[in-house]
Structure 1
Amino acid sequence: MQPMTINLDGFADQVAEAIAAKLSTTPASPKEPTKIYLNKSEAAILLGVSRATLDDWIANQGLPVAKIGKTYRLKRSDLITWMESHVA
């Protein structure tokens, strides 16, 4: 059995064309709606900090939070505004 020879330049062109064709026929997925209110874990991820740091900011730095029973909710726009005003 003879080994098969592949022209890599032609192969790369074929792959690029196949990908472009697939992308042009694949509908864009609908954007997931952005949550307005986040729990503490989601807020920590948004701000790029640990949960412990988030808890410290709530307790000592005036990070805006609403407590409903035992549940905390943090408004996304308030978090972004607060973070921008506290960047050194």
Structure 2
Amino acid sequence: MDPGEIDPGVIELAQRVFGLARAGETEELAAYVDAGVPVNLTNEKGDTLLILAAYHGHPGTVAALLARGAEPDRANDRGQTALAAA
């Protein structure tokens, strides 16, 4: 693997946790965050797990991410925050 190349397993894990945020799978997502996945992880558009959970209408997931230190004021590449996405 080239030094600048991202491990495919890391990409797969990131896609999985973003999918969990979109789907509102609170317990599984919280377990990943508790195990070390950064709570403020962003995708290629700058969306955080919190933004995706809020946008897709999952208040329980939003609460769990906030309890784990998610930054509510963190904006994506379009300047939108979780509040704007809700």
Q: Which structure: greater strand fraction?
A: 1
TM bracket, shorter-chain basis = under 0.3
For the pair shown, the structure with the greater C-alpha radius of gyration is: 1
